[in-house]
Amino acid sequence: MDIQSKIYIAGHRGMVGSAIKRNLESRGYQNLVCRTHSELDLTNQQAVNEFFKTEKPEYVFLAAAKVGGILANSTYPAEFIYQNLLIEANIIHAAYIHNIKKLLFLGSSCIYPKFAPQPMKEEYLLTGDLEVTNEAYAIAKIAGIRLCKHYNQQYNTNFMSVMPTNLYGQNDNFNLESSHVMPALIRKFHEAKINNISEIVIWGTGSPKREFLHVDDMADACVHLMMNYNASDIGEFVNVGTGKDITIKELAELVGDIVDYDGKIIYDASKPDGTPRKLLDVSRLNVLGWKAKISLKDGIKQTYEWYTDSK
């Protein structure tokens, strides 16, 4: 992938896609192709095929997806599996038809079994039952991984898959009905602070452990792999994370400190916790020459500053 290469970023306005765009631009890449949803509906196969035929991108970052937290996944499972299957199938097939040099597909760590051994190695895929609250999304992402694998197998394509841990950062979704835990906590603590609310209620017991990766680190890992490796080098897919986790309770206290909220934190144990622990084994990624650089505390500070500045 040289500096003149034509690169399509699917989902360039989302949190990950926008971070990949920023990373590429910082490296001097200018021949970037982007389309908004109103310009290109990725669930429309004919439209996607016409786009690839006209634009002829050489490299593709497939960061487009319908995403959300426990509440959104539980409420709209049909939408999550249907839309994500269509997006990835249309883009991956079009990339094959139009002879794309390399494609990188972004999955999710929720693909692993609910009670997978920790930390989770790539080979644990499909070894147990999924977490029921995000099963639809997970199955769609597993299908995307296998699409890449079998297109490589049958058509000798160069389609890579990466599995990020929980991501956060600039351009995250802070809607409390559809957000993940990090942006939800940042918004809750901020609003409680400015409105002088004396206590905050958080879903679950606070005991589940989660790993968090700043989206700028995620983007850097994606570009690193795209520039330096092929699908045959990384195996079926590669985990992307920090290799460190934290309980939701510890996270809430950290966010509260950064936001400077001094009220009480209450945990509603009647609400679901989700998977007890989700920590990725990132040894394969480390061998490929990449490690996370942004600390959790610094990353949350940056995210909170971006959130307040963007309001």
pLDDT digits (tens, 9 = 90+) for 2-39: 999 999 999 999 999 999 999 999 999 999 999 999 99
Q: How far apart are CA 199 and CA 197, in angstroms?
A: 6
pLDDT 10s digits, 145-196? 999 999 999 999 999 999 999 999 999 988 877 778 899 999 999 999 999 9
In this structure, is residue 285 part of a structural domain? yes
Q: Which residues are catalytic?
A: 137
pLDDT of residue 75: 83
- Domain containing 93 equals 7-172+212-243+278-293
pLDDT of residue 239: 97
In this structure, is residue 17 part of a structural domain? yes
Number of domains in the chain: 1
Annotate 116-184 with three-state secondary structure.
CCCCECHHHCCCCCCCHHHHHHHHHHHHHHHHHHHHHHHHCCCEEEEEECEEECCCCCCCCCCCCHHHH
In this structure, is residue 304 part of a structural domain? no
238 marked among binding-site residues: no
Tell the residue number behind the tokens 């989770």, with chain if given. Answer: 120
Q: Taking 90 as the threshold, does the pLDDT of residue 284 lie above it?
A: yes
In this structure, what CATH number is given to the domain that contains residue 148? 3.40.50.720
In this structure, is residue 183 part of a structural domain? no
273 marked among binding-site residues: yes
In this structure, is residue 86 part of a structural domain? yes
Q: Taking 80 as the threshold, does the pLDDT of residue 271 lie above it?
A: yes
Q: How far apart are CA 205 and CA 272, in angstroms?
A: 8
Of 123, 103, 102, which is closest to residue 112 (Cα–Cα)?
Answer: 123
298 marked among binding-site residues: no
Q: In what order do the strands lie in the sheet with 209-210?
A: 246-247, 209-210, 277-278
pLDDT of residue 74: 79
**78 burial type by CB count under 10 A (0-12 exposed, 13-18 middle, 19+ buried):** exposed
Residue type, 82: Y
In this structure, is residue 284 part of a structural domain? yes
In this structure, is residue 123 part of a structural domain? yes
Task: Indicate left, alpha or beta for 231 from its phi (over 0: left) and psi (-120 to 50: alpha).
Answer: alpha
106 marked among binding-site residues: yes
**What is the radius of gyration, based on Cα positions, of the chain?**
19
pTM recorded for the entire structure: 0.93
16 marked among binding-site residues: yes
Q: How far apart are CA 137 and CA 12, in angstroms?
A: 20
Cβ distance 239 to 120 under 8 Å?
yes
Q: Taking 90 as the threshold, does the pLDDT of residue 61 lie above it?
A: yes
- For the ranges 11-25, 106-120, 266-280, the maximum mean pLDDT occurs at 11-25
In this structure, is residue 289 part of a structural domain? yes
